Structure 1
Amino acid sequence: MNGPPQVDPPNPEIYQLMGEENMFRLLHDVYDEFANSSIKDMFPTDPEGLAEAADKSACFFVGLCGGPPLYHQRYGNPMLRRRHFPFPIDMNSRDVWLACFLKVLKNPQDYNFPEQHLDSFIGFIAGFSPWMVNKE
């Protein structure tokens, strides 16, 4: 694949309705799921490292969902494929990643996630995430 998939980005209203604190809580819960999944070896094992990874991801999703560009401000260009390349990611790993995200999103009200944008957000992560696959 030469570039990222052409999928519609999340609606910027998501951040406006959720706010930064809820986005961070959402991503921390997603990362807790990762840490208890079959892809846990791709994530830090210590609580501080896992929290830092969740924060970085939350910064990315804040900007993606209509908030300030926190990731760019704190860490520079996301370079998603490059940052994920050290990890052997096949479609099964991607499917586990997506399942963890979906498990947390089963309770969107816990994060004040606007339910009217839930399907399109899931469509985005489901459509974009295969770009991280780097192994058959």
Structure 2
Amino acid sequence: MELPLSQVRKGEEVHFKNPPAAFFDAIGGEEGMKELMYDFYDKIYESAIAHYFPQDEAEFDEVKFKNSKFFIQICGGPKVYENEAKGMNLNEYMIRVHDNFSITESSRIEWLGTMREALADKAQHVDIELIKAFWDYLEHFSKLTVNTFADGSTYYAAYTQAKEDG
């Protein structure tokens, strides 16, 4: 599955749009999205970036549950993440959640590589154009979580979200 990956450039303004609701439907709705995300996070737990996540199994299960709800809603499913976002735009809220971590470009690439594996496992039945649209969101949005650079400096990227996504 050919899914492009571009590098974060410090100072770059990131443009993105939310994934289409058609991806949510094609992956199998809430249950399909949960399967994808739980598979993804199980892979994360065995990856080089596992240290970013709770090592306690119950706490990690809570991360999987909450992040599944985020992706269900951001992909056009039911509004199941509203309480966690505390009234904020979902994308803005998720960016702020990541501010507490020193996230590097190499961590972002590992995260995306793990998601690529999960998509290969769980989205084989989904039209490639819908997968690419979902990937485009992940690839661009994930740049906004990178805040620590090789030279030791930090930077929080500016972004614009496509208007049709709210």
> CA 1:74/1:88 → structure 2, altered by over 3 Å: closer, same or farther?
closer
**Is residue 124 of structure 1 aligned with residue 124 of structure 2?**
no
TM-score, normalization by structure 2:
0.72
1:75-112 deviations in Å (ceiling 9; x for gaps): 533412221112110101111111111111112446x5
Q: Between the two structures, name the one with larger relative contact order (CA 8 Å, sep ≥ 6).
A: 2
Residues paired across the two proteins, number: 135
Contact 2:35–2:122 (8 Å) recurs in 1: no
Contact 1:14–1:65 (8 Å) recurs in 2: yes
Equivalences for residues 65-80 of structure 1 within 5 A? 65-76=75-86, 77=88, 78=90, 79-80=93-94
Which structure has the larger Rg?
2
* Structure 1 unpaired stretches of 5+: none
User: Partner letter of residue 20 of structure 1?
Assistant: E
Task: Return the match for 1:36 from 46, 58, 81.
Answer: 46
Q: Among all aligned residue pairs of Structure 1 and Structure 2, give the percentage whose two residues are the same amino acid.
A: 28
Distance 1:29 1:108 in 2: 8
Distance 2:126 2:72 in 1: 12
Distance 1:30 1:134 in 2: 23
1:9 alignment counterpart: 18
Higher helix share: 1
Root-mean-square deviation (Å): 2.2
Runs of 4+ aligned structure 1 residues displaced above 6 Å come to none
* Structure 2 unpaired stretches of 5+: 1-9, 150-166
